[in-house]
């Protein structure tokens, strides 16, 4: 990517982030328009296509975002952009009721990026949507217990962590 396109992309990403933070559709539409123009200049650029996906997602155009997320992944998106792209793609599938694709995509995400808590939680939500309640609860509870500073929860950490992995079990005296 040439310097000029890189600079424009960075400026447009900042604009998109501003629009997202303010929930300003005018700003988001401007960012999306600029990104689409950049894609016309460099249609094989995975990062640009990924950013178009985010811009569509941020604007409420979930179905359209999927096309760009998939294209970016197919074009070899990697690193932290791939991490976020898999989350966006998986959550978009889930939002549209495409639970099998959501579980598959988010599972790929947690497999490649096991420390990404956002991916784990969205994966647990998709598992819930598929009726896989035990797995969903285990992931959610484990994330809660690994991240909370709440003293009352921490007091019960051992028990909650154990029960998270044994939700269907009971014990008789």
- Helix (H) and strand (E) counts for the chain? 10, 0
CA 47, CA 66: separation in Å to the nearest integer? Answer: 14
* Neighbour-count burial of 137, counting CB atoms closer than 10 A to its CB (0-12 exposed, 13-18 middle, 19+ buried): middle
How many residues are given for the chain? 173
pLDDT digits (tens, 9 = 90+) for 132-152: 999 999 999 999 999 999 999
Residue where the block lists tokens 């988001």: 28
pLDDT digits (tens, 9 = 90+) for 50-79: 999 999 999 999 999 999 999 999 999 999
DSSP result, 47-79: HHHHHHHHHHHHTT-HHHHHHHHHHHHHTT--H
CATH of the domain spanning 3-133 = 1.25.40.10
Residue 172: pLDDT over 90? no
Q: What is the pTM assigned to this prediction?
A: 0.90
């Amino acid at each position: 990517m040439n310097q000029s396109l890189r600079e424009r992309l960075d400026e447009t990403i900042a604009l998109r982030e501003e629009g997202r933070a303010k929930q300003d559709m005018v700003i988001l539409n401007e960012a999306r328009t600029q990104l689409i123009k950049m894609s016309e200049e460099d249609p094989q650029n995975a990062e640009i296509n990924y950013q178009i996906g985010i811009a569509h997602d941020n604007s409420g155009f979930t179905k359209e975002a999927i096309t760009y997320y998939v294209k970016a992944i197919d074009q070899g998106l990697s690193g932290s952009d791939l991490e976020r792209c898999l989350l966006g793609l998986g959550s978009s599938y889930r939002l549209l009721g495409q639970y099998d694709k959501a579980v598959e995509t988010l599972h790929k995400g947690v497999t490649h990026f096991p420390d990404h808590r956002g991916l784990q939680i969205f994966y647990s939500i998709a598992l819930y949507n598929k009726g896989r309640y035990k797995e969903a609860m285990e992931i959610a509870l484990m994330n809660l217990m690994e991240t909370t500073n709440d003293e009352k929860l921490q007091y019960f950490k051992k028990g909650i962590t154990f029960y998270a992995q044994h939700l269907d079990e009971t014990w008789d005296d």
